């Protein structure tokens, strides 16, 4: 049996990169009935950079609704909000007291994110990977489906598990990352060398799951392309390759099928059809999202049940940790 854990920060609007990089993998894993699935809305991670409290609350519910609307089935998966299980922060402290500073100093995401925060960089942002390790290790997670940017954090999580086990005896399961090679790093439509991101100030490069049909058409129309007019997946064509993967993921066609379909045709036809495929793909997700947001009782029940499951499972692990570390009486 695999135990799967993954999460997304409610730090902005979920975009097609989050969907293709992670949620679509979760959906595949949901098809195997033997998997134990835990999907979290990681609000404690979101506050490692400044958040407006009102907006954060709104985004937590929005992300939960988008998980369900995208096809995460609460009958098969456990969905909960990270801050509703305090075992995550408890275990983080224990990890903080055993992780060498040098390990944390190597984290490249901190280097990128702290550069954006400058003087406002917090200890919490530095500590982000320790909280992520706690999220994963609390549940005996065997596999973590994520985008490429999280690979280093999963490797660190493995190192933490192995170090803890060496000091205190077998307690944690070192997890494996699950990264879909093709979809691991979807790029901005405006800059194919930069990751599509919630916090990108230029939102014209990001297709959000809740964008209107008009916004989607406009963003795809304005997407940058490469020199030459061929529609092929190739290293020297990063912008078109990115669009081809997005097209493939939302249409269900393979990249080579799409390449053949547009042989001899121009970027105009390609973009127009991609925009329509995207609208068609997102329409049912948005419809289900709106239903869930109209009646929040269903969502509340899902999140309550998820939190109860999470607390029940992690409390056993925390008891074990306290015992081996020598905490309490």
265 labelled catalytic = no
Options 12, 129, 192, 306; binder of ligand AQP; rule CB under 6 A: 12
22 binding ligand AQP? (CB under 6 A): yes
The distance of Cα 55 from the centroid of its chain, to the nearest Å, equals 19
Residue whose CB is less far from ligand AQP, 150 or 164:
150
Check if the beta carbon of residue 8 is closer than 8 Å to that of residue 42: yes
Among residues 198, 219, 271, 317, which is the contact residue for ligand AQP, using CB under 6 A? 198
Strand ranges (E), the chain: 3-8, 36-41, 77-81, 143-145, 176-178
Residue of minimal Cβ distance to ligand AQP? 21
Q: Helices (H), strands (E): how many in the chain?
A: 14, 5
Q: Cβ closer to ligand AQP: 12 or 74?
A: 12
CB atoms within 10 A of CB 218: 14
Handedness of CA 252, 255, 256, 258 (dihedral sign): positive
Tell me which of 76, 113, 163, 218 is the catalytic residue: 113
Specify the residue, 153 or 217, whose C-beta has the smaller distance to ligand AQP: 153
- Tell me which of 96, 149, 176, 215 binds ligand AQP, using CB under 6 A: 149
Task: Give the binding range for ligand AQP (CB under 6 A) out of 18-26, 64-72, 74-82, 209-217.
Answer: 18-26
Q: Is the dihedral of CA 175, 181, 182, 186 positive or negative?
A: positive
Please report whether residue 157 would count as binding ligand AQP according to CB under 6 A.
no
How far is it, in rounded angstroms, from Cα 222 to Cα 238?
A: 16
| Catalytic site includes residue 198 | yes
Determine which one of 195, 237, 249, 317 is catalytic.
195
195 is catalytic: yes
Enter the tokens of residue 150: 């999280």
Select 132 or 321, whichever has its Cβ closest to ligand AQP: 132
Two structure tokens written together for 197: 């991101």
Question: Would you say 72 or 321 has its CB closer to ligand AQP?
Answer: 72
Contact flag: residue 150 with ligand AQP (CB under 6 A): yes
Shortest distance in whole angstroms from residue 196 CB to ligand AQP: 4
CA nearest neighbour of 58 among 89, 106, 14, 104: 14
């Amino acid at each position: 049996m695999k135990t799967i854990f993954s999460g997304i920060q409610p730090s902005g609007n979920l975009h097609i990169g989050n969907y293709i990089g992670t949620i679509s993998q979760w959906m595949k894993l949901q098809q195997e009935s033997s998997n134990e699935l835990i999907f979290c809305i990681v609000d404690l991670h979101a506050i490692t950079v400044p958040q407006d409290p009102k907006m954060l609350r709104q985004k937590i519910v929005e992300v939960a609704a988008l998980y369900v609307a995208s096809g995460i089935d609460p009958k098969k998966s456990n969905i909960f909000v990270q801050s509703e299980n305090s075992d995550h922060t408890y275990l983080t402290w224990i990890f903080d007291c055993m992780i060498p500073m040098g390990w944390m100093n190597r984290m490249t995401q901190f280097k990128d994110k702290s550069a954006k925060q400058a003087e406002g960089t917090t200890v919490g942002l530095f500590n982000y990977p320790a909280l992520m390790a706690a999220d994963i290790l609390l549940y005996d997670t065997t596999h973590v489906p994520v985008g490429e940017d999280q690979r280093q954090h999963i490797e660190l999580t493995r190192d933490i598990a192995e170090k803890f086990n060496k000091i205190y005896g077998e307690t944690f399961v070192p997890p494996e990352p699950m990264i879909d090679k093709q979809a691991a790093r979807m790029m901005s439509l405006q800059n194919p060398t930069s990751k599509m991101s919630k916090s990108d100030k230029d939102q014209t490069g990001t297709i959000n799951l809740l964008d209107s049909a008009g916004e989607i058409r406009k963003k795809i129309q304005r997407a940058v392309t490469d020199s030459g007019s061929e529609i092929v997946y190739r290293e020297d064509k990063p912008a078109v390759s990115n669009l081809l993967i997005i097209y493939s993921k939302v249409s269900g066609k393979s990249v080579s099928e799409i390449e053949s379909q547009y042989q001899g045709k121009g970027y105009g036809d390609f973009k127009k059809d991609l925009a329509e495929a995207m609208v068609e793909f997102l329409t049912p997700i948005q419809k289900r999202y709106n239903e869930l947001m109209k009646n929040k009782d269903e969502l509340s029940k899902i999140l309550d049940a998820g939190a109860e499951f999470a607390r029940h499972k992690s409390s056993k692990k925390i008891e074990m940790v306290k015992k081996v570390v020598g905490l309490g009486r």
